[in-house]
């Protein structure tokens, strides 16, 4: 019989480390600062991109991010979103700007009821949002500045119909399939892509 799912609560950052029931002078906020201040790093930037898309689409950010979900976000309207990110600038020393490509691999989602992964690899989201930190000057690149980002949105049906590699997609290919939008227009583009996809007749 599977163990029950842990209900994770939103933390304030003020929670202290404990030793023998005594609070130590180290708070959870100290850990967050220590582990996640480098938002240019690939792993942290990916989660930060999810946060950006969540704020653009009115996702309730008081609910804890689901690390093991079959997709990254679900909007109040029920649109399931997968978020991918890339950047020209990296924290480490670079001889040249990074080439931009986004992973689009199918995945075997975790089935919570069966307590195992699905046997079939799928794309579980309705819409993919490809977030590009497009600013290419190392000394001034700031992921917190939303003017440094641009967003490309594809419906999953359009991605499934993409005739080239199903493992990844280049920026050039994305630009051939859709145009970039700014943060302010992101929610509208997601909604329209989902609506257009939903209205297509099944073949």
Over residues 114-147, the pLDDT tens digits come to: 566 777 878 899 999 999 999 999 999 999 999 9
Sketch the domain layout of the chain as residue ranges.
38-199
Q: Answer positive or negative: Cα dihedral of 67, 85, 42, 45.
A: negative
Beta-strand relationship, 168-170 and 101-103: antiparallel
Q: Compute the C-alpha angle 33/8/42, nearest 5°.
A: 40
Q: Are 121 and 106 in contact (CB under 8 A)?
A: yes
Over residues 6-25, the pLDDT tens digits come to: 788 899 999 999 999 999 99
Q: How many CA atoms lie within 13 A of 33 on its CB side?
A: 7
Supply the pLDDT for residue 203: 45
Tell me the DSSP string of 64-99: PP-TT-SSSEE-TT--EEEEEEEES--SS--SSPPP
Select the highest-mean-pLDDT range: 95-109, 127-141, 187-201.
127-141
Q: Cα(185)–Cα(190) distance, rounded to whole angstroms?
A: 9
């Amino acid at each position: 019989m599977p163990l029950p799912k842990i209900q994770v609560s939103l933390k304030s950052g003020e929670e202290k480390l404990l030793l023998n029931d005594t609070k130590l002078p180290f708070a959870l906020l100290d850990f967050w600062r220590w582990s996640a201040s480098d938002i240019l790093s690939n792993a942290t930037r990916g989660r930060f991109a999810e946060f950006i898309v969540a704020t653009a689409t009115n996702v309730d950010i008081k609910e804890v991010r689901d690390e093991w979900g079959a997709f990254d976000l679900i909007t109040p309207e029920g649109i399931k979103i997968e978020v991918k990110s890339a950047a020209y600038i990296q924290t480490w020393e670079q001889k040249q700007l990074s080439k931009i490509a986004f992973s689009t691999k199918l995945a075997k989602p975790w089935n919570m009821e069966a307590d195992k992964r699905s046997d079939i690899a799928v794309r579980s989201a309705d819409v993919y949002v490809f977030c590009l930190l497009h600013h290419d000057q190392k000394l001034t690149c700031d992921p917190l500045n939303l003017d440094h980002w641009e967003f490309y949105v594809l419906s999953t049906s359009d991605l499934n119909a993409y005739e080239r590699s199903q493992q990844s997609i280049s920026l050039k290919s994305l630009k051939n399939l859709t145009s970039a939008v700014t943060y302010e227009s992101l929610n509208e583009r997601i909604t329209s892509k989902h609506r257009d996809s939903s209205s297509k007749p099944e073949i």
